[in-house]
Amino acid sequence: MFHRVCIVGIGLIGGSFGLALKKHGLAREIVGVARRDSTLREALAIGACDAATSDVVEAATGADLVFLSPPVGQMKATCELIAPVVARGAIVTDAGSTKAQIVRECEPLFANARFVGGHPMAGSEKKGPQAARPDLFQGATWIVTPTTQTDANALSQLENLIETLGAKAIRLAPDAHDELLAVTSHVPHIAAAALVHSFLGSKSENPVASRLVAGGWRDGTRVAAGSPEMWRDISLANRDAIRAALGEMIGELTRVQTTLERRDEVALLRWFEIAAQERQKH
């Protein structure tokens, strides 16, 4: 489907994208980009790309598909570098966990290429090419965020590619994406990190706390092991929606606190029942 593919940020997501393209025979040549030599060596070793470099301009020159997977805070600067060198008519998409700022800043930069915002909802707290898998996107939701400026053919091509990789393409407006992801992804990560910080307080007061860590704590804090740099950038890029969602969560916690103060068994039971019933649906 593509002659030259450039993957910027060939870690877990970018590496999996490269492996998936190769599995389905969709790219003649894949060039991976990363800052660290060790990452480039690992990407080559697992076969996620055919060539690897730290020079994003070199990698993007002549590319007819560019997949951007660096930290979201680096998206605009990266697009400014590659916009003049990608092939005319190239599709440029990204894997950023926030969309409104990225789309607003990056879409206008491509006069001769076609930018389509995207977010494959797949991955884990693990990072690096060594964690990449060709089936990572199988069964996953892959959000695309077209605007009134989005090229219809580019959108259709990207959605066909997504479906070929086994994911389900869903269209959302960039702002709607960010509002929903604040609730379903960003605040849960912040809550997981907050649980870890709370644990640190208990641990400092009583070292035996480390021996009492249970499955619930491990399950609830798993995502807190993710990249701090990535989550800093996501939190800042989507700060308004996250602040609103945090307000909702604080309201729920306050409600539980009040219920406990009142020893209201009925209300407390109902609160847990609603949560259990909803969780069982997903």
Assigned CATH for 176-279: 1.10.3660.10
- Under a CB-based contact definition with an 8 Å cutoff, are residues 131 and 12 in contact? yes
Tokens describing residue 113: 């290429």
Per-residue pLDDT at 90: 98
Helix, strand or coil for residue 28? strand
* Alpha-carbon separation of residue 235 from 85, 137, 231, 239, 243 (angstroms): 31, 24, 6, 5, 9
Nearest to 193 by CA among 222, 230, 235, 234: 222
pLDDT digits (tens, 9 = 90+) for 27-65: 999 999 999 999 999 999 999 999 999 999 999 999 999
- Say how many CA atoms lie within 13 Å of 173 toward its Cβ: 4
pTM assigned to the model: 0.88
pLDDT, one tens digit per residue, over 184-211 is 999 999 999 999 999 888 877 777 777 7
> Residue 113 has what pLDDT?
97
pLDDT of residue 42: 96
Residue 80: what pLDDT? 98
* Contact assessment for residue 156 and residue 93, using Cβ atoms and an 8 Å cutoff: no
Asked if residues 158 and 144 have their Cβ atoms less than 8 Å apart, the reply is: yes
Domain ranges of the chain: 2-172, 176-279
Work out the pLDDT band at 254, boundaries 50, 70, 90: very high
As a CATH number, domain 2-172 is 3.40.50.720
| Angle ∠(281,241,237) on CA atoms, nearest 5 | 115
**Strand ordering across the sheet containing 65-68:** 51-53, 27-33, 2-8, 65-68, 91-94, 114-121, 141-145, 168-171
User: How far apart, in whole angstroms, are the C-alpha atoms of residue 86 and residue 92?
Assistant: 9
Mean pLDDT of the chain: 94
In the beta sheet, which residues pair with residue 115? 92
CA distance 161 to 203: 48
- Please give the pLDDT value at position 214: 81
Give tens-digit pLDDT for 79-95.
Answer: 999 999 999 999 999 99
Percent pLDDT > 70 in the chain is: 100
Q: Which whole-number Å values give the CA distances from 82 to 7, 18, 71, 163, in the listed order? A: 12, 19, 16, 26
pLDDT value, residue 201: 85
Q: Tokens 């870890």 — which residue? A: 196
Whether 165 has a pLDDT exceeding 90, the answer reads yes
The most confident of the ranges 10-24, 111-125, 195-209 is 10-24
pLDDT the model gives residue 270? 96
Residue 213 pLDDT grade (very low, low, confident, very high; cuts 50, 70, 90): confident
Nearest to 167 by CA among 205, 124, 120: 120
pLDDT of residue 61: 98
The DSSP element (H or E) to which 202 belongs, if any, is helix 187-205
Cα three-residue angle 184-187-191, rounded to 5 degrees = 120
DSSP string over 52-96: EES-HHHHHTT-SEEEE-S-GGGHHHHHHHHTTTSPTT-EEEE--
**Same topology for domains 2-172 and 176-279, yes or no?**
no
pLDDT average, residue stretch 264-279:
96
- Evaluate if residue 97 carries a pLDDT over 90: yes
| Contact criterion met (CB below 8 Å) for 94 and 110 | no
Distance CA(249)–CA(149), nearest Å, equals: 36
CA distances from 241 to 185, 236, 251 (A): 12, 10, 16
